[in-house]
Amino acid sequence: MMQVVNPATGDVITTVAATTLAETDAAIERAATAFESWRAVAPADRARLLRRFAARVDAHLDELAALEVRNAGHTIGNARWEAGNVRDVLDYYAATPERLTGRQIPVPGGLDVTFHEPLGVVGIIVPWNFPMPIAAWGFAPALAAGNTVVLKPAELTPLTALRLAELARDAGLPDGVFTVLPGEGSVVGERFVTHESVRKICFTGSTATGTRIMAGCAAQVKRLTLELGGKSANLVFADADLEKAAATAPYAVFDNAGQDCCARSRILVQRTVYDRFLELLEPAVRAVRVEDPTRESAEMGPLISARQRETVASYVDGATVAFTGSCPDGPGFWYAPTVLLAGSPGDRHWREEVFGPVVSVLPFDDEADAVRLANDTEYGLSGSIWTRDVGRAIRVSRAVAAGNLSVNSHSSVRYWTPFGGMKRSGLGRELGPDAPLAFTETKNVFISTDQ
């Protein structure tokens, strides 16, 4: 049995049975059997089932949000958005089955056409920081493309995934098409890697674990989508709207208590406005409302666990603290928003992914220096650029090695557009109109017309 803890109180709220190796094998085999009938479902009927699934999620938004607040410590506002995102992603990819078209390619002597064939069983391994949306980003396009799915939620946050599986059954998805298997990564996740019937894995988590999964999949040439770590840069140039850049910077890193691969946890500020930016940033950080995540006014909740809090604190110990916000005392895994001054790009808190409400600030001299410092990392997931100069915005956007960039904004994820990283931040892309193609193989068929 796995204990499920409320991060805001430290209390055990329930226990969940961990899936055994034998149970994992049985679930994968059921998914493999269900695949043959699921891929044969008429496109319009598969689309209708996905829309029905989305409607069931919509009818239970408040329930799902409340469950995520208790299980993951997310603020109620964020949790409502996350549940709504599951609904929206399902609705978006419900259009896929009737639009998954191939091509007719002009060739001599016959007709050449392509088909997008589903892969089979897809294994999805979900992290604890955004349990609902990241699950949907994998299972919605995979199901729409005709695959069956086995999904392993994180050990710490299994509750919403289990509820989504129930809603899928209520919507009429056949048995074995979408199965949630709570359990340990060394058992369930590892079996996804080694089982030959699992034809693709979607993994979101640490770069270290993703690297091991990638190595394990090599033996079977198993398909992979990896969304891994990040150490994203927030570049603030002297000509930017400094008031807006400073006011929004805390929410670009402290959202979800900084437990976000897209967190802009490195702020690079042009040296001529560095002091002024810090003056503006301090009241913005102190104003972040860190409180009981069930409150409508909450802007940041607790960290996921005591262990995570210890990890975050280890980055602050010995560092130069510019200023901090506040957080509740007493039970729960709370940590105050913290701003550190980087002495050099070699500082540990500047280089490594803290995965908590800690941001580092460093000055730069000019555009070339900003790009050099932004790219001086093994990661390349997301980032922001603040400038009023359109030419600079385009130049820097092209020069910074990151899969998702926003100008005068901190947006990273829209389900209509591709999402993924460069370098050690991952492999492949999720979301957007092309995501279902990542769950298919292109088959080419030539039909001779020669007599």
3-state SS assignment for residue 239: coil
DSSP bridge pairs for 136 = none
- Decide if 230 contacts 264 (C-beta within 8 A): no
The three state secondary structure string of 191-215 is: HHHHCCCEEEEEEECCHHHHHHHHH
Q: List b or e across 37-61, with b for residues whose CB sees 16 or more CB atoms inside 10 angstroms.
A: ebbebeeeebbbbbebbbebbbebb
**Measured in whole angstroms, how far is the alpha carbon of residue 31 from the centre of its chain?**
24
Of 227, 299, 353, 430, which is the active-site residue?
Answer: 227
Of 68, 82, 217, 261, which is the active-site residue?
Answer: 261
Q: Which of 401, 68, 412, 387 is nearest to 263 (CA)?
A: 412
Q: Dihedral of the CA atoms 77, 82, 84, 86 (nearest 10)? A: -170
**Measured in whole angstroms, how far is the alpha carbon of residue 412 from the centre of its chain?**
10
C-alpha to C-alpha distance for 177 and 161, rounded to whole angstroms = 15
**Measured in whole angstroms, how far is the alpha carbon of residue 151 from the centre of its chain?**
15
Q: Is 227 a catalytic residue?
A: yes
3-state SS assignment for residue 4: strand
List residues with catalytic annotation. Answer: 227, 261
